[in-house]
Amino acid sequence: MKVLLFCDPGIDDSLAIIYALMHPDIELLGIVTSYGNVSKDQATVNAAYLAGLAGRYDIPVISGAEFPLSGENTVYYPEIHGSQGLGPIRPPGSVQGNYQEFHYLYKIIEGNIQDLVIVDVGRSTSLAAAFNLNQSLMTKVKKISLMGGAFLVPGNVTPMAEANFHGDPIAANVVLKYAAEVVISPLNITNSAIVTREIANFIYNQSASPFKNLIPPVTDYYSAYYQKMNPGMKGAPIHDVIPFYQLMNPAFVLTKERKITVLTCQEGRGTSEADLRSSSRNDGSKRFIGLQFDYRHFISDFIKIMVNKV
């Protein structure tokens, strides 16, 4: 599967990048970096650093948005992801990479329009801008997969809103309005995509990959935050890996097809709404919400990919 990834690495974004780089059936054609967990500039360095660890200096790292469409100042999350986005890991200030300006993403999309999937695991500002600047091309992209939303479950930045949709609800609505097909991985499933320190250590011990040294320290850092917030929690949810897992293993994720709206008003900002009453039916909207998944299958798939034994 050919993928163009939009992200804000960030620990779980970084694990998603590693998963995509290591998956034998995923061809990562480019990484668009934006503000979110860290600044746009830091996200760009981190993406190039991770691609470089695998010797993938060829992968374009494309500069995206610095703030949401509303123009508001952004809030970063060093307490969750570390001051530079990789927990205790400090990538060098300047990193070799195939850095490209924003318009370069159209070259990737045009060249692969027949079978390209876009995955967005950050605030959707850059993706919404891509629609705004070239609607006719973007509406031809066959599938877009988003990590975002919380449907009838608690949010993670407000009681009702998930961080990506809350960060730029206007952008999320632009994508939901214009995309041909959207597959969503919301907190309903990503909250349960837990990786423990034991799993991280197992991957470290079994793996010969260039990423192995990174896995235990970032998981430790990330888990420490989640365990502080939720005493008793064993590990941390790697939200951003789920869109890739869901794309590659659709039979293991239960989805419902429903029109989705993201609230933009102050009190409800970022709240994702869909009609999930038991009387409601798939509505032909081509907006597929992931609501349940098979954790045991997920975690064995994750380990298998991360130790490179597929």
List residues with catalytic annotation: 8, 239
Query: Mask: binding to Ca ion, 220-239, rule CB under 5 A, as x and -?
Result: --------------------
List the one residue from 121, 138, 200, 260 that touches Ca ion (CB under 5 A).
121
Does 122 help bind Ca ion (rule: CB under 5 A)? Answer: yes
Size of the site for ligand RIB (CB under 6 A): 14
Does 194 help bind ligand RIB (rule: CB under 6 A)? Answer: no
Span from 70-78, 113-121, 128-136, 281-289 in contact with Ca ion (CB under 5 A)? 113-121
Structure tokens at 23: 């998956």
Tally Cβ neighbours within 10 Å of residue 165. 33
Cα 95 to the center of its chain, rounded Å = 22
Pair 33, 63: CB distance under 8 Å = yes
Does 185 help bind ligand RIB (rule: CB under 6 A)? Answer: no
- Nearest distance in Å: CB 193, ligand RIB: 11
For residue 263, give the amino acid letter.
Answer: L
Span from 41-49, 62-70, 160-168, 287-295 in contact with ligand RIB (CB under 6 A)? 160-168
C-alpha 112/C-alpha 189 separation (Å) is 30
One DSSP character per residue, 82-139 reads -TTSSTT----SS---EEE-TTHHHHHHHHTTTTEEEEE-S-THHHHHHHHH-HHHHT
List the one residue from 14, 124, 164, 272 that touches ligand RIB (CB under 6 A).
164
> Kind of pairing, strands 272-273 and 261-262?
antiparallel
Q: Which does 163 bind (CB under 5 to 8 A by kind): Ca ion, ligand RIB, none?
A: ligand RIB
Does 37 help bind ligand RIB (rule: CB under 6 A)? Answer: yes
List the one residue from 125, 156, 188, 272 that touches ligand RIB (CB under 6 A).
156
Does 13 help bind Ca ion (rule: CB under 5 A)? Answer: yes
Span from 9-17, 39-47, 204-212, 270-278 in contact with ligand RIB (CB under 6 A)? 9-17
Q: Which does 162 bind (CB under 5 to 8 A by kind): Ca ion, ligand RIB, none?
A: ligand RIB
* 3-class secondary structure, 63: strand
The separation between the first and the last C-alpha atoms of the chain, rounded to the nearest angstrom, is: 16
Helix 215-229 with 197-206: angle, nearest 10 deg: 180
Under DSSP, the state recorded for 252 is G
C-alpha 245/C-alpha 275 separation (Å) is 25
Does 87 help bind ligand RIB (rule: CB under 6 A)? Answer: no
Q: Which does 120 bind (CB under 5 to 8 A by kind): ligand RIB, Ca ion, none?
A: none
Does 36 help bind ligand RIB (rule: CB under 6 A)? Answer: yes
Does 269 help bind ligand RIB (rule: CB under 6 A)? Answer: no
Which residues, other chains included, contact 301 with Cβ-Cβ below 8 Å and sequence gap of 6+? 245, 248, 249
Which residues, other chains included, contact 250 with Cβ-Cβ below 8 Å and sequence gap of 6+? none
C-alpha 123/C-alpha 169 separation (Å) is 8
Does 120 help bind Ca ion (rule: CB under 5 A)? Answer: no
Contacts (CB under 5 A) with Ca ion, residues 236-255: 240
- Nearest distance in Å: CB 50, ligand RIB: 14
Does 169 help bind ligand RIB (rule: CB under 6 A)? Answer: no
Does 120 help bind ligand RIB (rule: CB under 6 A)? Answer: no
Contacts with ligand RIB by CB under 6 A lie at: 10, 12-13, 36-37, 121-122, 147, 156, 162-164, 239-240
